[in-house]
Chain A
Amino acid sequence: MKTLIHLIEFGLARILLFLFDTLPYRFNCSVSKGAANLWWWVDRKRQKVATNNIIRSGIETDPKKARQIAKRSIQNFSMMLVESLRSDEYLEGEDWQNHITLDIKPDVLEVLEDPERPLILAAGHFGNWEIAAHLVSRYKPVAGITRGMNNPYIEKLVKSRKGRYRFRPIPKHDNNAGRLIEELNQKNILALLFDQHAGKYGVMIDFFGHPAATFKTTAMLHLVTKAPLCYADCVRTGPMQFTVTTSHLIKQAPTGNKQDDIKAILTTMNEHLEHTIRKDPAQYLWAHRRWRD
């Protein structure tokens, strides 16, 4: 029975993908916006979480305006899915630079262009992080932690789509303890999202002035492997138009006080992310429970 359900889901996913691949991009965007609006009205719990997060961050204190930002945030997330499904079409062609503006700092560019140096690229759920990963894969292979699908057929389908560009998914609970380190040993880019609730793997770092359990993986990888680390974001500036920006390299040598070292790195990254979000709050995914106290 379970297999049958998985096969039906897989069939529907294939039909949807076919439609998204063949229908005009702008039409897909309209459908995606409609789906996002429907999601917004149905999922009241997420609606509340997103609105409360915006108010708590201090970005908007008026509940009505915060709700408007939260709704646009859901629409932007839905748009991100459409853009990511079509990213090959725009980023693999000769004219990819007509779609992407780069603001990569010189020290980071030096690392990207050196085949002998790996890079840890830390990003938040802002704009279109999938496009950012796709873009940097033009320099060297990219690996990132992905959450597995419950449906094995859809899992395979997703992997085949991502495999079109040089992206290697790493399962969230990989049995290979050294997998992340291996990617850096192979001089690849390790792209990691650091702004989800980290639970037991996290350390409490201020995010918009409130302590939030933050993944320490990026910081620990930098401290242990000495691999270069930077923050990156990908802002949507128009239909299939983006600006990819990086920070300068974030450098922290181990001092012997692990907690202080981690805190220094993660505080810097959170500050970069906050700065990015303030520029266009609706492009941030507010619907996840960042603060859980």
Chain B
Amino acid sequence: MNSLSKEEIMAKLKSIVEDSATEPVDLSNFGPETTVEDVGLDSLTILDLLYDIEQEIGVEVEAKEIIAFRTIGEITQLLIDKGA
């Protein structure tokens, strides 16, 4: 499988976050510094994010790994390190 670029992973994450959100979220400034709280993820919607990352990006991420990160940039790096 071809590896995804950092930009491609970010774009997929943005799309996943949009789909997971239960309230309208402003993603106009979505970037590496955006935090999990900024995009309105809570204990329920973060589960959608984890499911979609596994299915759409093809990387199995353990929940405890992703909840340790606070920004989209850190999550992106984790996915790259895992071979996305």
Contacts and interface: CB of A to CB of B under 8 A. Distances in A.
A223 to B, nearest CB: 6
Interface in A164-178: 170, 173-174, 176-178
Interface string B30-59: 000000110001111111101110110000
A146 interface: no
A173 B54 CA distance: 26
B27 interface: no
Interface in B40-84: 41-48, 50-52, 54-55, 63-64, 66-67
Given A177-B36, A200-B22, A220 B51 contact: yes
Nearest to A173: B42
Contact of B51 (A176, A182, A223): A223
B43 A176 contact: yes
A47 B64 CA distance: 45
B23 interface: yes
Looking at chain B, what size class is its interface with the partner chain?
Answer: 20 to 34
Contacts of B36: 177
Given A177-B45, A181-B43, A254-B51, 13 more contacts: A173-B42, A179-B43, A181-B47, A181-B64, A182-B64, A182-B67, A200-B23, A220-B48, A224-B50, A225-B63, A256-B55, A258-B48, A258-B55
24 contacts: A173-B42, A174-B42, A174-B43, A177-B37, A178-B43, A178-B63, A178-B64, A180-B43, A181-B43, A182-B67, A185-B63, A201-B22, A217-B44, A217-B47, A220-B44, A220-B47, A223-B47, A224-B47, A224-B50, A224-B51, A254-B55, A256-B55, A258-B48, A258-B51
